[in-house]
Structure 1
Amino acid sequence: MRVALLAESFLPHMNGVTGSVLQVLRHLAAEGHETLVIAPRSGEVTADLHGARTELLRSVPLPSYPEVRVVFARAARLAAILRAWHPDVVHLASPFVLGWQGVAAADALRIPTVAVYQTDVVAYAEKYGMPQASALVGRHIARLHRRATLTLAPSTASIRQLEDLGVDRLRHWGRGVDTARFGPERRSDAWRTAVARVAAGESVVGYVGRLAPEKQVEDLAALAALPGARVVVVGDGPSRAGLQQALPDAVFTGHLTGTALAEALASFDVFVHPGESETFGQTIQEALASGVPVVATGVGGPVDLVRSSVDGWLYRPGDLRDLRSRVADLVGDEGKRRAFAAAARESVRERTWDAVCHRLVDHYDEAQALRRIDDAQVQRGATRPAVPTPADTRPWSRFVALGDSITEGLCDTSRMPAGELRGWADRLAQLLAHARDTDDPFRYANLAVRSKRVRDLLDDQLPRAIALRPELVSILIGANDLVGRRVDPLAVAAQLEAAVRTLRAAGADVLLVTPFLPRRRAATLFARRFAVFSSELRRIAARTGAVLLDTDAFVDDASRPAIGDLALWADDKVHLRSRGHRYLAYRAAEALGVPHAEALSGLDAALHADDDTVVDGTWLRRDALPWIWRRLRGRTAGDGRAPKHTGYVLLGGGGEVRARTAAG
């Protein structure tokens, strides 16, 4: 694979972005991939780039922070560089200025982009005295990451932040730690005496990082005159002079790298990280690897790294009294420090850079698959499918499913009496019942009937649903319309929008599911119709506030196949088999915010063998000819059939059926 890395920051300025890029270059080279680095030119580069080619562009220093360089390259210039090098994927390292031009250039060339969110620029704008710019910066970040094929975020806090900005296709990707370089064996009594100047019985309370406003190093003044503690600050930056005045008793070592940095970290007794705008916190991870307990603010990236009361403490953001008391707790208790230190080292054992970069290559592969889907959608005049963002779980107690044969449950006979069907909606109802914190019964009705179209939903299913006063309604329908001889997908979508708006006006939440096709050659005849219809459903969901389960967004990976995967489809070639219904039910549960839906999905799959019914006869005689015969007679398989649950079925907290009622 050929990977072009666009980095907003690069050597000789060393920071978290640069360090991550160097680690990625090392790993990609070791795995036989070719790399190109496009970055600001700001001085001589002497470090080992592991065979990477470089295109270092003219840059200007940021006025308030001259070590940071800004490149104002035009997208056309970047497109020319990329076109000449032919990358398979473009990696955008903490994109902002150069990254915006890079994503535009890659988009023009139809090259997939993976944007790595690493810097909370919105928070930085506020810390640097530009609060009026934070909204503008937020809109820029959202626009950039929505344009990227895939966005990687390092922590749950940063994922939530990007979700709030409307960014889709988010994946969690943390940072690795060099456990060979950072370790307890680097601890040096000589360093503690000569550099930290500790007296007998004193503990070193240290900080490592940039000395800049966003790091809030001035909060360490809360540790002044703390008995038995010596504060040591490792790093440099624009705030150093002011910090030396604010912390007159602290030792400032300046910038350290390599083994010198590893020796300093391992020689700390407590590591303190006061910054509240960290998307991750790489130095926290290096301190843990060094066997040093961490005291960090309980917000942002540190929340994922520090296990409070196990390998450190998380203090209340902005509460400097709490910061001081947490540090004092560790300084005054050597036994607790030793226990925390052992747990700290153990916590990073599986976070090596090799493991992290293996996952990065998987994300590159996913981005390539997503880019192909995006290009196909654009050619069909449709919008890009979005990965569904989980909703907040609501305490729904009345759920009604509307639709056709897929929602009725055709071909899902798993663990059902002869002649009865289950289906994804029944499975979803059980998951929703399980997720509730109450023993009150959960009411579920299924009004779906095979072969029905959107007009049938409007004329028959919708009035019945409204009469049941549901709190949640699922809608999966449209496939039977779209395979007709002459059909306008936009007109069908407009009819469906009317149903969604009626339900929303009645106070119901709506789960809107895009219809889908199997990956068969014959299905490509209808692919454009389905793509246009799905695109309209995305717009409908956005306009009405419906929860969207966008089945086009699921692509193949080891644990989550695409909905079109033939392994999920029954022998009749047009319906899901039991495992397909399970798959769809858990994807819907995720979209609705059911806790741990992904983990439950894996457990459920492990408990099932291939439990689908073995059918007799050839597909032509068993399935195709009866369908053709019904069509010639103007009939459908659903004519005269009643829904399987016209009234509510009562499900208990364990998901078991208790009774049937005629109405709500």
Structure 2
Amino acid sequence: MRVAILAESFLPHMNGVTGSVLHVLRHLSDHGHETLVIAPRAGEVDADLHGARTALMRSVPLPSYPDVRVVFARAATLTGLLREFAPDVVHLASPFVLGWQGIAAADALKIPTVAVYQTDVVAYAQKYGLPQATSLVAGHVSRLHRRATLNLAPSTSSRTQLEQLGVDRIRLWGRGVDTTAFRPDRRSDAWRQLVAPGETIVGYVGRLAPEKQVEDLRVLADLPGVRVVIVGDGPSRPSLERTMPRAVFTGHLSGAALGEALASFDVFVHPGESETFGQTIQEALASGVPVVATGTGGPVDLVRSSIDGWLYRPGDLDDLRARVADLTGDAAKRDAFAAAAHESVRERSWEAMVSTLEAHYAEARTLRAIDDRLLARAATRPWAPKVAARAPRWRRYVALGDSLTEGLCDSSRMAAGEYRGWADRLAELLAYAGGGDSPFHYANLAVRSRRVRHLTDEQLPQALALKPDLVSILMGSNDLVSGRGEPVALAREVEDAVRALRAAGADVLLVTPFLPRRRAAMLFAKRFAAFNSELRRIAAETGAILLDLEALPAIGDLEMYAADKVHLRSRGHRFVAYRAADALGVPDAETLGGLDAALHADNDPVLSGTWLRRDALPWIWRRMRGRTAGDGLVAKHTGLIQIGRGGTGARQRQTSG
């Protein structure tokens, strides 16, 4: 097998991602596989890469943490590298920036991807003082992992985290531990005498950075007979040395020196609350050292409380101090925990972990073959194939929203001044998918320029009066681009509408708003990401069916948009309609969408005037006068119309209003 590994971090910077990649390279080589490493270039690499080819890319340091390098590689460059190597699978190690470009390149070549979730970048954004970026980061992580053929999570907590982001195809895959480098007999009395003579050593190993919360160890500084020893380096070291003047800072250690230091601890402490796994915890256990760690994230799967260590309440530093004091004050308990710690990792060798990884590679290759048979999915991401429990059963569908749902700019096969739109197209798909045995009724209550308040005050009561069994909601864009209203508060108003419809017995198709891939649109990206994050939560809590358009990169393509640069053209409306039909279980919706796109030519009208005079200035003038394009207009259908046998097609009954 030929495996291409794209790593966000690599030598000479040593961290959990780099360490895992090196172990994988070694064992893949032992098993006869060929490997290519694509990673940031940050300096000379003189380690044994076990025969792997390398393509180290130009990178720039992260300003707040120079040891972390960021690669801004073009997808075309990565496509060329992958095409030349011809891998059977692409392994994405902790993907974020380089991984996003890598997954696009792999998709272009129809190569399966296995994304290994290893870094909680959402938590890191918070720790580094960027809370406003949290929703953007979460959205990016969600989109990236949803595009991967298969995702590997290192712990049950990280699997849950990915599931909450809407990611599917998740398998558990932990980390191996080098039981040769980390073992109890590496304990050194000479090292202990040099570092903390006659004292009980409570140690930490890892990066010294804000997300690791090493400053929490200050509460251990005055424990009787205890010396805190900190192994590692990073941007937080100067402040930590000031905060804990009695602690011993050894700097970065590796190889035999690290194994000796770790085995010479009496207690290992890990305070970080954003660990997806906790490799140093596992290495401490292998070294026969009991562990005290925070009771959240990856450590929960590694530390057996009251057997080989303690899990303390997250954020409770008094509990941390008490748990450490329990072990430093009782040598017999400490010895019993140490023996159990060493025994707990016997079956966690890297050899075993890489054998499991090979099985995941094989599964990804099988899944990719399935994805490639789903015609349109490869253009967005390889979605997990969905099988509807039964054909769509809805017979009364009502669409709520603004100009996007009204169908503005979708003039395909319509009379002058009339519009079709994705919701009308979806209604026809649902009507005929149901077999036509009973009448199908549809109403479109959407009106251009409407805001969330119009959804709750006007459209919701009208919809409830029609007694629908299915309602679609695509609303919020006008509020988000105008800056009126806070995204979370707006989402709560939408939530009230969803809950009211669900209480009335209707199913709800909840659609996330989206933006074109234009520089100007990025001004609103944070607000859209925050709003859509809430919509995902609402769908999960209410049982609404989620159409997550923001997670589909193709929706941002400029070819989807009309001449006004804001609304979808016919091609975009078709895209949304077939994605909605697929989400609702219409049989072969994606295949039908591909055929429709192949056979249908858009005949967009030729518009006079420039965009500035035709679209932008009238919009500015309306805003200055406090007016909107929808003032005085009513919905297409204030009541239900029948579609299908004996009924009137939706597109034959539309008006420009």
The TM-score bracket by the shorter chain reads: 0.5 to 0.7
C-alpha contact 1:504 1:510 (8 A) present in aligned 2: no
Query: 1:166 matched to which residue of 2?
Result: 166
1:355-366 aligned at under 5 Å gives the runs 355-366=352-363
Measured on the aligned residues, the alpha-carbon RMSD in Å equals 3.3
Alignment check: 8 A CA contact 1:207 1:271 kept: yes
Kept in 2: contact 1:296–1:315 (CA 8 A): yes
1:74-473 mapped onto 2 (5 Å cutoff): 74-194=74-194, 196-199=195-198, 202-378=199-375, 384-386=382-384
Answer whether contact 1:168 1:388 (CA < 8 A) is retained.
no
Cross-structure match for 1:61: 61
1: distance between equivalents of 2:320 and 2:377? Answer: 56
1:225/1:34 CA distance change after superposition, 3 Å: same
Query: For the residues of structure 1 that align with 2:55 and 2:432, how far apart are their CA atoms?
Result: 50
Asked if residue 540 in structure 1 is aligned to residue 608 in structure 2, the reply is no
Instruction: Read off the aligned partner of 1:198 and give its amino acid letter.
Output: P
CA deviations over 1:176-226 (Å, ceiling 9, x no partner) = 0011111111111111001x2232xx3110000000111000000010210
SS at match of 1:225: coil
Change beyond 3 A, Cα 1:268–1:367: same
- For each residue in 1:476-520, what CA deviation from the matched residue of structure 2 results, as whole angstroms up to 9, or x when unmatched? xxxxxxxxxxx98982159799877799843899999xxxxxxxx
- The alpha-carbon deviation at position 338 of structure 1 amounts to 1.0
Asked if 1 retains the 8 angstrom alpha-carbon contact of 2:371 and 2:378, the reply is no
Aligned amino acid, residue 196 of structure 2 = R
**How far, CA to CA, are the matches of 1:510 and 1:241 in structure 2?**
50
Cα pair distance change 1:139/1:534, threshold 3 Å: closer
8 Å CA contact 1:198–1:204 kept in 2: the answer is no
Provide the secondary structure at the position in 2 that maps to 1:296.
Answer: strand
Amino acid across the alignment from 1:305: L
TM-superposition CA deviations, 1:335-379 (whole Å, max 9, x none): 111111111111111111111111111111111111111110125
Give the counterpart letter for 1:275 in structure 2: G
**Equivalents in 1 of 2:377, 2:158: separation in Å?**
33
Match of 1:539, as an amino acid?
A
In the alignment, is the contact (CA less than 8 A) between 2:263 and 2:288 conserved in 1?
yes
**CA distance in structure 2 between the aligned counterparts of 1:356 and 1:160, rounded to whole angstroms:** 21
Per-residue CA deviations over 1:644-663 (Å, capped at 9, x if unaligned) read: xxxxxxxxxxxxxxxxxxxx
The CA deviation at 1:103 is 0.6
% identity of equivalent residues: 68
CA distance in 1, matches of 2:392, 2:63: 60
Q: Note closer, same or farther for the CA distance 1:239–1:540 as it changes in structure 2 (3 Å cut).
A: same
Do the aligned partners of 1:288 and 1:348 also contact (CA within 8 Å) in 2?
Answer: yes
Residue in structure 1 matching 2:432, options 467, 479, 491: 491
Q: Is the partner of 2:100 in helix, strand or coil?
A: helix
Residue 369 to residue 184, structure 1, CA distance change in 2 (3 Å):
same
Instruction: Indicate the SS of the match to 1:378.
Output: coil
Task: Say if 2:392 and 2:584, in contact at 8 Å, map to a contact too.
Answer: no
Mapped partners of 1:511, 1:211: distance in 2: 43
Q: Which residue of 1 aligns with 2:22?
A: 22
Question: Does the residue aligned with 1:191 lie in a helix, a strand or coil?
Answer: helix
* Contiguous gaps of at least 5 residues in structure 1: 390-401, 404-452, 460-486, 513-532, 543-547, 549-664
Partner secondary structure for residue 374 of structure 2? helix
Match of 2:459 in 1: none
1:538 and 1:277 mapped to 2: Cα distance?
A: 36
- Does the CA-based 8 Å contact 2:6-2:92 persist in structure 1? yes
* Contact 1:311/1:344, CA 8 A, preserved across alignment: yes
Shift in Å, 1:57:
0.8
- Describe the SS at the equivalent of 1:43: coil
Contact 2:38 2:54 in 1 (8 A): yes
Query: Partner letter of residue 204 of structure 2?
Result: Y
| CA distance in 2: counterparts of 1:367 and 1:138, whole angstroms | 24
In the alignment, is the contact (CA less than 8 A) between 1:315 and 1:326 conserved in 2? yes
Counterpart contact for 1:127–1:213, Cα < 8 Å: yes
Distance (Å, rounded) in 1 between the aligned partners of 2:100 and 2:282: 29
Report the AA paired with residue 197 of structure 1.
A
TM-score (norm 1): 0.61
**Aligned counterparts of 1:534 and 1:302: Cα–Cα separation in 2:** 43
Cα distance in 2 between the residues matched to 1:536 and 1:278: 36
Closer, same or farther: CA 510–96 of 1 in aligned 2, 3 Å: closer
The 1-side partners of 2:260 and 2:271 are apart by 22
1:388-419 CA-partner distances (Å, limit 9, x unpaired): 89xxxxxxxxxxxx97xxxxxxxxxxxxxxxx
Distance 1:458 1:507, change over 3 A: closer
**Does the 8 A contact of 2:211 with 2:274 survive in 1?**
yes
Q: What stretches of structure 2 of length at least 5 have no aligned partner?
A: 397-427, 441-467, 472-500, 508-541, 546-576, 588-657
**Residues 490 and 227 (structure 1), Cα distance of their counterparts in 2 relative to 1, 3 Å cut:** farther
Question: Which whole-Å CA distance do the structure 2 matches of 1:35 and 1:499 have between them?
Answer: 53
Determine helix, strand or coil for the equivalent of 1:377: coil
Q: Report deviation, 1:264.
A: 0.6
Q: Which amino acid aligns with 1:540?
A: L
Partners of 2:372 and 2:378 within 8 A in 1: no
Give the secondary structure class of the aligned counterpart of 2:268. strand
> What's the secondary structure of 1:9's corresponding residue?
coil
Structure 1 residues 67 and 335, CA gap change in structure 2 (3 angstroms): same
TM-score norm. by structure 2 comes to 0.62
Tell me: CA distance 1:494–1:81, structure 2 relative to 1, closer, same or farther (3 Å).
farther
After superposition, the C-alpha distances for 1:562-602 in whole angstroms (9 at most, x for unaligned) are xxxxxxxxxxxxxxxxxxxxxxxxxxxxxxxxxxxxxxxxx
Number of equivalenced pairs: 435
SS, match of residue 66 in structure 1:
strand
CA shift, 1:68, in A, is 0.9
